[in-house]
Chains A and B, each alone.
Chain A
Amino acid sequence: MSWLRRVTARFPTVVLARRNLSRASARTTLAVVAIVIGVVAIGTIGAGGEAFKQDQMEAYEGFGGTATVSPVYYQNDDGDIVGGISDKDVSRMRQVTSGATVHPVIQRWDTVVRTSSGETSPSAQVKGLAALGTFYEAQSGSIPDSWRQQVVVGSRFADNNDVETGDQLTVTINGSFERTFRVAAVLEPQGFADQLQADRSVFLPFDRLSQLEDSESEYGSVIVRVDPQTASIDEAAESLETEFNTRRRTIAVSEVQEQRERFGQTFEMINQFLIGVGSISLLVAAVTIANTMLMTAIEREREIGVMRAVGYPKRAVVSLLLAEATILGLVGAAIGVPLALGIGMGLNQFLVGDPLAFTAAGLRYVGLGALFGVLTSLFAGVYPAWKSANKRPVEALE
């Protein structure tokens, strides 16, 4: 007690401020709630958004030193739409990008996928890609190196259709080809930034698809990859451009690293916008605090008049009211930060599947929210404090 008293006696302003706040507890609580909401909004949006971005960025991870090539279609002189990537094109790609591996991707749209329970999945994308295991990891089962009787499915497809490793899937293509496969693996979730939208895909053995009778030897896209240690994907991309796009643009080459950066930038903008929207709640909190402090100041006009009369300088009155406003902000931040972290953990679990998936940038937003919460309160207290300190004690006492 005496120890506490000696400490608090050093900060009489804080003691007075705290007592005053406890006097109008309902109003104080509401003001704190306003700050809490602001801190939580900024912290949660910031941290959750950063975790989400981080998670999406991971989808690019298997694609280092990689470029995707997609066909450019155009209208010829007869008015027909022509274009596409054929086996011959793939061979040319292999030639001009010596040292790179070239993986054509087959995508069929005329397919029906049926689970063993007989349900069909219309949104499943049937694809073929050799060396699947070099791009993706399996969350269950394992991705076979060479395969004829099995399929590998994406996580979303598996979730939506209750499919697990070991289940049977029947795939019908173009009404003629029909075959039942065993699910060898379910892939890790990749997110929407994934090159091949693997989450929604059913990967058939590449050879099966390429050997289909009606196969027009046409590929939906081609993945070109170099070992970034020994070769440059820039060079490979340039060679492809020269080979295919000199006379007329027939392919589009896109380096995944660039896509990744673009995605990061876009997402950053969206996140900042959302945080901006969240900050509006702090603005509302500022209004609430200012209102609270004005009411306090008016209510205590006489009391403050007495303080001025007995020799408190204006400065002391200003500090007292600012201390009160700041305490509101500090308490709001103290409640808001754990709350933001808690909600952030929920969001992480929901978006990323790991409650502790906070990133440094995300935690920075939580800190920023807390800081803004305190500063907002302080600034909101300035006008009421100034107004109240500048009232002449006589006026205040009348």
Chain B
Amino acid sequence: MTWETSDSEGAKPTETARGDRPGDAAGGGDLILRGEDVTKEYQTGTQTVRALKGIDFGIAPSDFVAIVGPSGSGKSTLLNLLGLLDVPTDGAVSLRGQDVSTFSDADRTRKRKRAIGFVFQSFYLIPTLTALENVEMPRMLDKTPVKTRERAKTLLRRVGLGDRLDHYPDELSGGQKQRVAIARSLINDPALLLADEPTGNLDRDTGDEILALFDELRAEEDVAIVTVTHDAYVAEEADRVVNLVDGVIEDAGETAADGGHGA
């Protein structure tokens, strides 16, 4: 029932990335995020829905984890907990060793900003802002407009949109929007990138481009990526596949042939 940060042999950049972290070794002190016996219940009226039924997880730098499973199995719920958007009903989630439940809402907001990038299935770009401004958005309130703009331009070039800086979202294709969303998720140099079906709306070619981008990010910036997906080819690329069924992890495997479990 557990999904541990197995010292995966397969993952290429992982080895190099780990080397320069202090206190690595077995204890998992270098984990970005760790969950123990995490349970999440939703209260709807008199009914209690147990969306997650006690799962364990750990995410290390430059991990690539795919979460698959049938609809309603708790994938988004898990992603929300990983992203500090929600707190578990039971069990503990800790960010770099700090128990998330001790954080106030403002604390979690701050940690999110510093450590976590989000890519949503429906992009959720702000229609009144250009591609460049959308990427800048998470840092718009910081008093570093020049630095932010440089970084945003670099990121957009990196995702292949250097020539679309001033386009508004409705002037971009689905794949381009998703790439803007990814650039936005990276503006704060997160340690962890959370994606909910990032390729769900894209054709295979565009999906592959996104995956290539993920690989690059892990290799060059040590970013850990956790993605919910229904696409088999995405799961195949992952170091580990977490198969959620009805709030429980069925089996955790290395990049496995059963990656297509979801759907």
Q: Give the interface of A toward B (CB within 8 A).
A: 5-6, 9-10, 12-13, 16, 19-20, 22-23, 302-303, 305-314, 316, 392-394, 397
Contact = CB atoms under 8 A, between A and B. Distances in A.
Contact of A312 (B141, B143, B145, B185): B141
A392 B110 CA distance: 15
A6 B143 CA distance: 11
Given A12-B140, A16-B129, A19-B128, 7 more contacts: A5-B145, A306-B118, A309-B83, A310-B117, A311-B138, A312-B109, A394-B86
A19 B130 CA distance: 11
A310 B129 contact: no
Nearest to B112: A311
A310 B84 CA distance: 11
B86 A392 contact: yes
Given A16-B140, A316-B141, A310 B184 contact: yes
A1 to B, nearest CB: 13
A73 to B, nearest CB: 78
Interface in B114-157: 114, 117-118, 120, 122, 124, 126-129, 137-138, 140-141, 143, 145
What are the 7 tightest A-B residue pairs by CB atom distance, in nearest-first order? A311-B113, A9-B145, A19-B128, A310-B138, A12-B140, A306-B124, A394-B85
A20 B140 CA distance: 15
Contacts of B126: 303, 306
Contacts of B80: 394
B145 A393 contact: no
Contacts of A310: 112-113, 117-118, 137-138, 184-185, 188
Contacts of B117: 310
Given A313-B109, A394-B80, A23 B127 contact: yes
Nearest to B117: A310
11 contacts: A13-B141, A302-B124, A306-B120, A306-B124, A309-B83, A309-B112, A310-B113, A310-B138, A312-B138, A314-B109, A397-B85
Contacts of A6: 145
Contacts of B128: 16, 19-20, 22-23
Contact of B188 (A5, A13, A311): A311
A45 B251 CA distance: 76
B250 interface: no
B254 to A, nearest CB: 30
B106 interface: yes
Given A302-B124, A303-B124, A314-B105, A309 B85 contact: yes
B120 A397 contact: yes
Nearest to A393: B85
B196 to A, nearest CB: 9
B112 A12 contact: no
Contacts of A20: 128
A10 B141 CA distance: 9
A113 to B, nearest CB: 72
A392 B112 CA distance: 14
B205 to A, nearest CB: 27
* Of B86, B128, B145, B188, most A-chain CB atoms within 10 Å: B128
Contacts of A313: 106, 109-110
Contacts of A302: 122, 124
Contacts of B184: 310
Contacts of A5: 145
A88 to B, nearest CB: 88
Nearest to B105: A314
A12 B137 CA distance: 10
A320 to B, nearest CB: 9
A10 B144 CA distance: 9
Nearest to B113: A311
A19 B143 CA distance: 20
Contacts of B83: 309
Nearest to B123: A306
A308 B126 CA distance: 13
Contacts of B114: 311
B197 to A, nearest CB: 13
A159 B86 CA distance: 80
A6 B144 CA distance: 11
A9 B106 CA distance: 24
Contacts of A392: 85-86
Contacts of B86: 392, 394
B79 to A, nearest CB: 10
Nearest to A390: B105
Nearest to B126: A303
Contacts of A307: 137
Contacts of B120: 306, 397
Nearest to B184: A310
Contacts of A22: 128
Nearest to A300: B126
B200 to A, nearest CB: 15
A344 B3 CA distance: 76
A19 B184 CA distance: 19
* Of A22, A23, A393, most B-chain CB atoms within 10 Å: A393
Nearest to B138: A310
A311 B140 contact: no
Contacts of B143: 10
B86 to A, nearest CB: 5
A394 B42 CA distance: 12
A308 to B, nearest CB: 7
A19 B128 CA distance: 6
Contact of B129 (A19, A309, A312, A397): A19
Contacts of A305: 124
B170 to A, nearest CB: 12
Interface in B89-120: 105-106, 109-110, 112-114, 117-118, 120
